[in-house]
Structure 1
Amino acid sequence: MKHVNLLILDDKEENIISLSALLSEVDHINIISSTDPNEALKICWKNDIAIALVDVQMPEINGFEFVSLLKSNPKTNHIMAIMVTAISKEDRYLLKGLESGAVDYLYKPLHPEITVAKVTSFVRQIHIQEEIKQKNIALEESQRQLILAKEEAEEARRSKESFLANMSHEIRTPINGIVGIIHILRNTPLNNEQHDWIKRLDNASNSLLLIINDILDISKIDSGMMKIEYENFSIRKKLMDIDNFFKIKALDRNLAFEMDIDPQLPEYIRSSPIRIQQIIDNFVSNALKFTEEGKITLQTSVVDQAASQCTIKFTVTDTGIGIKPEAIEKIFLAFEQGDDGITKKYGGTGLGLAIVKRLADLLHGKIEAKSAYGEGSAFSFQATFEKVDNFRQEETIDTTAISSLHKFDNVRILVAEDNELNSFMLVHILKSWGCEVDVVKNGRIAVEYINQHDYDLIMMDTHMPVMSGFEAIQEIKAHPNPHKANTPIITISASVLQHEQAAAYEAGADSVIGKPFDPLDLYQKIDKLISKRV
């Protein structure tokens, strides 16, 4: 424990000697003495004095004046002053000492036990104050570190978000071109072999997109950017769609796919149909991947039911290779699979079940895995959902073939896109719909073209050199010519981040389409926007 500096000020040396001897039994003090008040003031200024025992009656400067001088100086006003006096114990003298700044009195002749007890008490008080001071310093440092950590975490989040946006754009942009070319080729005369090539190319591009979506999903969930969008939907219809899709997939692998639905399952629930399907799809896809013979079963059972809520359990069982007991927990970790040999034989990123685990948490549900190695596995997802009596069906997207869509009449479109494959694909699709198309490679040239020509619609990529799509949109919407300023604009965004898509609308875009996009979706957006234009 740190020693406390204690000053004894008395004009008589013998008093100092006797008081020092008396206080020698007090622990953790360092005694400094003086018979001269002026010298004592200098000692207080230069040394870290904590307690001062001050004689009241002294020539030149009395004890009251000395304490007043201590308390008037910022360097010494913290010192605890104790008056030592042989004069009357009348209240007026006590008040005078306290008014000067003293904290207590000792009366001569000094009572040894009282004197030691009082000084010990004040030493303990100083140690407590010092401890509090150090804790406050530590607390301030901790708060500073927390603020710094928060700032670093926020910076890391922004960096991760920026990385996601850039990666999404850089990867999805070429995939958009590939998917677009596939759509174009599918609507041209092809022989059977070429149709097979297109089918294989389509499957490969879809597989690549699934892997990219997995990576982006896990990144969005871990950074807290994934939001669950709730809506009313038919859980039975969703299950039938899953059944229809995977029956064909299973048949291709000579496997049986069966579905068992609990008769008590409600028709409609409120949740996220996309995320529920993502969880079930992952379970079934894994079952297909790791099952070479036998069957796969999707069972939906009602675990508990109340007036407005229903707890549902979705279980996918297979007769596949199974999982070793020690690997069960490992499979839910990102970039992990139950066995390194599985990666070599079956491939995959090892992200699927990690995403499922996080999605289950976001849906306030739980997942469970059971397996008998070499015999098969069962994966389940259980959550409680709100039951819905009825709701208005969402409008379904027209699935008419691209080749049978009616052509636009006298429509001129400006495409601002720096990726040559994407611009080539877009121009081809737009021209197949009867549109006249101009192409530019950045936002600055797009603005120049708008100044020189009239367009019925603008398609603007968000990320371009020289001037971004957002900057170009803002300039166009601020055009002095109202006709040009009101030209409808569709932004082409490869970002999966909602705030970036929202930023497009804030900049003035009339619609947003993602990469890769569905040509039918693009057609409907164009048709809707140009039909509104006067």
Structure 2
Amino acid sequence: MTLFMLVLMGSGVSADPVRAEQSLDHYSTLTIGALANGTAKTVMQANGEPVGVSADGSNESARRGSQTGEEAPALDLSADEHAYLRSLPPLALGIDTSWAPFTSAESDGHTGGNVLAYTAYLSRALDIDFDPRMYPDWTAVSNAFGNGQVDVIATRREDQLQGIGPAHDFENIGFAVRPGYRRLVPLIDRALRAMPAADKERPLQASLVASDPPSSGWSVSAMRLLPVLIAIGVILGVTLRAFVLLQREMARRVETEQRLATQLSFQQTMMEVVPYPLVAKDLENRYIAVNRAFEKMLGIRREDVIGHTALEAQSWGPENSKRLHDLVGQSITNGRREQVEFAFHNRLGELRHALFWTGAFKAADGAMAGAVGTMIDITDIRDAEMRARENERRLHDVTRSLPAVVFQLRRATDGTYGFPYVGGDTRHLFGLDLATLSNDQVAGLSVIHAEDKRSVRETIERSAQTLEPIHMEFRSIADEGRRWIRADLVANRETDGAVVWNGYWIDASIERARADELAAARDAAEAASRAKDDFLAMMSHEIRTPMNGVLGLVEVFETTPLNPDQSQMLGMIQDSASALLQILDDLLDYSKIEAGRLTIESMPIDLRELVDNAVGLLAGRAHEKGLRVRAAVSPDVAASLRGDSVRLRQVLFNLLSNAIKFTMKGDVALSVNMVASARGVQTVELSVEDTGIGIAADAQASLFEPFVQAETSTTRRFGGTGLGLTICHKLVELMGGTLELKSELGVGTKMTVRLSMPVETTSYQIGGMRGKRGIIAIDDPRVARALVDYGQALGLELKIHSRDDAALRDPQTFYGIDLVFLSDTHREALPLKTQVIHVTEKPKPTGYRILENDIRVSVNPISWRGLGAACVAALTGLPQIASRATRSTDTNMEAPDRDRAIRAGRLVLVAEDHPVNQELIRHQLSLLGFACDIVPDGVEALAALKHGHYGYLITDCHMPNMTGYELARRVRASELGLSKRLPILGITASTAPEELSMCRDAGMDDCFVKPTRLATLRDHLNRWRVMENSSAAPQPDGTAEPQSAAGPDTATTESDELNLGYMTQLWGSETTVKALLDAFASSFRDDLETLRSLLDNGGSVAQLREWHHRVIGAASVLQYRPLQVALDTFRRDLLDKPATRRNEDGAVLIARCEVLLEIIEGQCAAMA
């Protein structure tokens, strides 16, 4: 036998390896084939000798192969070879079990054959282990070898491994090993050459046993019967095959029939469920099938058409049936699909539009077999198209006659623009026709003026991002660029991301021209308005400057001795000048209102104080005409509301002035009532009612128009400009209220102001009066009701009795009564031990008067402050005092000399350039008890301040060389780093609202408008009176810094003392003043204890404000400026201060008040 050894370097077996031979005695030759990197490589040398075997060795091998019975050479292995063989793992041997005699599978599950005999010998000779792995065929063995699952394979391969030698006796064996075991090849070769004879016989016997099984008698019989058996087998095979083929054909036919039945059912169902008419025709153009939709559409049965042509059935009408018959025939003839559109009447007689398609179908042999057709009802589509065309025609007609162009603009996702629709006269707007503008996407921008293209593009791009509507105007190139186009577009985003605008263009050239004209007119009007305002401001300044001198000097002259005629003429001068000033103020206010530059402030207002001021200023004028003046405020009106006190006072003053002017006899009354209250806001009505001439109904409608009076003769009889009510009406509207008029000719007029005002403080807290009880016994119930209302606000409980009430003669009636208000005309003695306040109709400048042991209160009109002072005086228990004359509060006070004024801090520096006003203010200051130095401008004022010691600076705002504003700034700059601050008062003839702001910004403490009255000047000076040791110095904005802490031992100065002379003039006697001061000191100490308790217990801001409101009311009765400043300083910024700061400021206030109380008590002791 010949043995082949293959060494494979790749992953598979070589198709044709090169072989080398070695002889195994007389019947065995060893052939080894090798592959390197996939290329066949011979292991034979050029002379035909095997690789690794010398020529002698090769000859020797041949010689031994030719000699019978010669012993094989011994297998001698080196130590290195032994070590290599021991290092080998068990080698996986792949065996193809399907080829005998090389391998065979025994019945017991074992394998045999000559391969295992050789591997058993190699295992013993080389001391290596083989792991046989059986595979059913050569393909499985090859795949396993290629995948690396086996290391060695052996099988019969005659086609690829041809043996050399006695191959006719035995089969060839081929071995192959994986490249990693290449060194094993020569070792196997040597082992086989050294194989003993006994071992050589075993593979031969194994192959013989496998190839020649033992014979028996049955085999001889089988050989004799074999031809018969073969013939019988052939016949049976043919018969069986025919039967199988027949069964298969029958199964195929059954399956085909079922498939055809299913297909027919499917086709029939599909025809019936299709909602469109379907027909099928044969080659003769006869109907062979129709569906249910066909029957329903035409209203015929299929039995009536099956087997007939369209010409015979006439199912579509004569004309349509012929067209369809011809169309189907044409389709069958040429084999193409055909279609036609036609109109027909359905089974209901309705005219319908349809599309009919037909196509031929072929038989299995390729010949034409017939045609099928279907129809779609397109009536709705054609109707929609017709309506769309009609709408488009109408839209075209409409847009053609409109002055606008409607369009649709589309921006694609790539940023390109186009006009899907444009309708209207585009040639008029852009100079282009519709076709050009619609088809050219660039034309849309090309018709825009070059200066407007960028803004238009940016606007459209921005709208594409935000989808905001577009409202813009631009110019087109038409009409030489003078054509203005207004565009309005609304954007929408489509599903594909494109943006579509629907909009219109319209010619805006005329409107643009008008707008330009209006803008020019507006600018001219604004310039004229500014010129008017400037003129009025200049005239106001020029008029007020001499008017200041006139009114001021008249006021000064009134303090000098005058005879009756002089006094009367002086009064006439003052009235005329006041009327002229009022006209000027009305004109200025009206001008501000019309220009919209008048603003409404919001600040705390005491309406009772406001009524006192307004009525008090005009009561004298009413009294001169013999009129009674009444004032009343409802008790539920809050103590303090928020609003514009200046403008509200102006309204009340104007309404009262008119009431007094147009009333010849009777009464003029001012009343305030609360009509609603909700969420901290009170709605109040301020009514001015008179018994004057009244206004006719037809004149009332135009009464609020400017420069209009009820009658033309009214101006001649009463004077005036007719602006008063107009200004009042505008002011009330600016304050968010209404002004109503009710009047009856010859009866009188009632003007009502209704305002909603936030509540600042609900009620008063006046010490010494809360809970006190009193009786009112007077004749006039209206006055009695007003006294009850005022008393309730003061905290008194008053009860009304008529004068002839018998209860007044009963002493028990007066039990527990603290006060009795009795008419001064009441002559009957009453059993009284309580204090009596007499009510009189005689006017009193302060609203009350104390004479001897009698206290009188005037109700013509009732004064809120006067009533409160009278009640305080009565409740303190006045002693019997002697009568003494009193003087006016504004009459001459002896002016100190200059040195004494410097020591008292009453020296005033006046900067005034007008000579008349210089003399006027000198006299006014002298009457008020102040000495002064006068300089003509700001430069000299600065020089005087460097060398003098002044307590005040009064400066005109407009002066040559240096204005008052610059002077104030220079003074404030020089005070930086100093603790003392000079009060600066500005005087201006301008009424512009920005004037006050300029004064504040310059550093002035206050500013008042000319003409300068004595009372106004006195109030400003008292407000900013210098207190040398007081740490509460006034600030430019009218506020004061919190004063430093002061203990009870803080030194006092002359400025901390009460002005007892002034208080005596005000209250009538020193005894009264002493009683008031004693009562105040006692009550105020209790108030300070209350404050300590609030501070110690963490009182809230609201509680502290309530405490402040209560004590400031009592302090205002004394007009004690140091105490008022200390209280106001504590209240300022109370809400914004932290609790610790409030406690610190409270301690400072208590210490300061205790010092002031000691001063008050010391002065009271000196008066005893």
Using the size of structure 2 for normalisation, the TM-score is 0.32
Residue 154 of structure 1, CA deviation: 4.8
Query: 2:710 is matched with which residue?
Result: 338
Match of 1:513 among 1000, 1008, 1016: 1008
Residue 338 of structure 1, CA deviation: 1.1
Residue 181 of structure 1, CA deviation: 1.9
Are residues 246 and 475 of structure 1, via their aligned partners in 2, closer, same or farther at CA, if it must alter by over 3 Å?
Answer: closer
Amino acid at match of 2:933: V
Are residues 307 and 474 of structure 1, via their aligned partners in 2, closer, same or farther at CA, if it must alter by over 3 Å?
Answer: closer
Q: SS of the counterpart of 1:303?
A: strand
Matches of 2:552 and 2:743 in 1, distance apart? 42
More off after superposition, 132-141 vs 226-235: 132-141
Query: 1:78 is matched with which residue?
Result: 446
Q: SS of the counterpart of 1:528?
A: coil
1:141-290 matches, cutoff 5 A:
148=520, 151-152=523-524, 154-191=526-563, 193-239=565-611, 248-259=620-631, 262=634, 264-290=636-662
Contact kept in structure 2, 1:51 and 1:79, CA below 8 Å: no
Matches of 2:566 and 2:959 in 1, distance apart? 35
Match of 1:528 among 1023, 1026, 1031: 1026
Residue 341 of structure 1, CA deviation: 0.9
Query: 2:985 is matched with which residue?
Result: 490
Matches of 1:451 and 1:252 in 2, distance apart? 47
Query: 1:420 is matched with which residue?
Result: 915
Matches of 1:27 and 1:136 in 2, distance apart? 16
Structure 2, unpaired ranges of 5+: 1-399, 402-422, 449-482, 488-504, 767-864, 866-887, 1034-1168
Q: SS of the counterpart of 2:676?
A: strand
Matched, 1:389 2:884: no
Residue 461 of structure 1, CA deviation: 1.7
Matches of 2:571 and 2:485 in 1, distance apart? 78
Residue 243 of structure 1, CA deviation: 5.5
Contact kept in structure 2, 1:235 and 1:267, CA below 8 Å: yes
Matches of 1:450 and 1:245 in 2, distance apart? 38
Amino acid at match of 2:723: L
Matches of 2:568 and 2:915 in 1, distance apart? 26
1:316-331 matches, cutoff 5 A:
316-331=688-703
Amino acid at match of 2:912: E
Matches of 1:239 and 1:489 in 2, distance apart? 30
Matched, 1:403 2:776: no
Contact kept in structure 1, 2:907 and 2:930, CA below 8 Å: no
Residue 352 of structure 1, CA deviation: 1.4
Contact kept in structure 1, 2:426 and 2:432, CA below 8 Å: no
Matches of 1:79 and 1:357 in 2, distance apart? 55
Amino acid at match of 2:1021: Y
Contact kept in structure 2, 1:495 and 1:501, CA below 8 Å: no
Residue 350 of structure 1, CA deviation: 1.1
Matches of 1:356 and 1:389 in 2, distance apart? 27
Q: SS of the counterpart of 1:490?
A: strand
Residue 379 of structure 1, CA deviation: 2.2
Deviations 1:341-364 (A, max 9, x none): 111111112111111111220121
Query: 1:437 is matched with which residue?
Result: 933
Q: SS of the counterpart of 1:207?
A: helix
Query: 1:462 is matched with which residue?
Result: 957
- Percentage identity across paired residues of the two chains: 28
Query: 1:293 is matched with which residue?
Result: 665
Matches of 1:196 and 1:496 in 2, distance apart? 31
Query: 1:361 is matched with which residue?
Result: 733
Q: SS of the counterpart of 1:345?
A: helix
Amino acid at match of 1:401: D
Residue 180 of structure 1, CA deviation: 2.6
Matches of 1:519 and 1:131 in 2, distance apart? 62
Contact kept in structure 1, 2:683 and 2:755, CA below 8 Å: yes
Greater Cα radius of gyration, structure 1 or 2: 2
Residue 246 of structure 1, CA deviation: 5.6
Are residues 486 and 231 of structure 1, via their aligned partners in 2, closer, same or farther at CA, if it must alter by over 3 Å?
Answer: closer
- RMSD of aligned Cα (Å): 4.6
Residue 310 of structure 1, CA deviation: 3.0
Deviations 1:130-174 (A, max 9, x none): 674664656765665666566555544543443343233212222
Are residues 219 and 51 of structure 1, via their aligned partners in 2, closer, same or farther at CA, if it must alter by over 3 Å?
Answer: closer
Q: SS of the counterpart of 2:626?
A: coil
Are residues 364 and 179 of structure 1, via their aligned partners in 2, closer, same or farther at CA, if it must alter by over 3 Å?
Answer: same
Amino acid at match of 1:327: A
Deviations 1:187-237 (A, max 9, x none): 444455544454444444333333322222222222223222233333345
Are residues 325 and 423 of structure 1, via their aligned partners in 2, closer, same or farther at CA, if it must alter by over 3 Å?
Answer: same
Residue 532 of structure 1, CA deviation: 8.4
Q: How many residues align?
A: 423
Matches of 1:201 and 1:177 in 2, distance apart? 12
Matches of 1:358 and 1:413 in 2, distance apart? 41
Are residues 169 and 263 of structure 1, via their aligned partners in 2, closer, same or farther at CA, if it must alter by over 3 Å?
Answer: same
Matches of 1:205 and 1:430 in 2, distance apart? 22
Matches of 2:575 and 2:447 in 1, distance apart? 83
1:63-74 matches, cutoff 5 A:
none
Amino acid at match of 1:385: M
Deviations 1:465-487 (A, max 9, x none): 4554334555666679999x987
Are residues 428 and 532 of structure 1, via their aligned partners in 2, closer, same or farther at CA, if it must alter by over 3 Å?
Answer: farther
Matches of 1:267 and 1:502 in 2, distance apart? 29
Q: SS of the counterpart of 1:368?
A: strand
Structure 1, unpaired ranges of 5+: 3-25, 31-46, 54-66, 81-127
Matches of 1:271 and 1:263 in 2, distance apart? 19
Amino acid at match of 1:330: S
Are residues 426 and 525 of structure 1, via their aligned partners in 2, closer, same or farther at CA, if it must alter by over 3 Å?
Answer: farther
Deviations 1:43-84 (A, max 9, x none): xxxx9666888xxxxxxxxxxxxx9xx97xxx997389xxxx
Query: 2:207 is matched with which residue?
Result: none
Q: SS of the counterpart of 2:683?
A: strand
1:105-120 matches, cutoff 5 A:
none
Matches of 2:686 and 2:678 in 1, distance apart? 18
Deviations 1:270-296 (A, max 9, x none): 333443343333333322222223434
Amino acid at match of 2:626: N
More off after superposition, 373-382 vs 462-471: 462-471
Are residues 192 and 529 of structure 1, via their aligned partners in 2, closer, same or farther at CA, if it must alter by over 3 Å?
Answer: farther
Q: SS of the counterpart of 1:512?
A: strand
Amino acid at match of 1:409: I
Q: SS of the counterpart of 1:463?
A: coil
Query: 2:745 is matched with which residue?
Result: 373
Matches of 1:337 and 1:274 in 2, distance apart? 25
Q: SS of the counterpart of 2:994?
A: helix
Query: 2:311 is matched with which residue?
Result: none
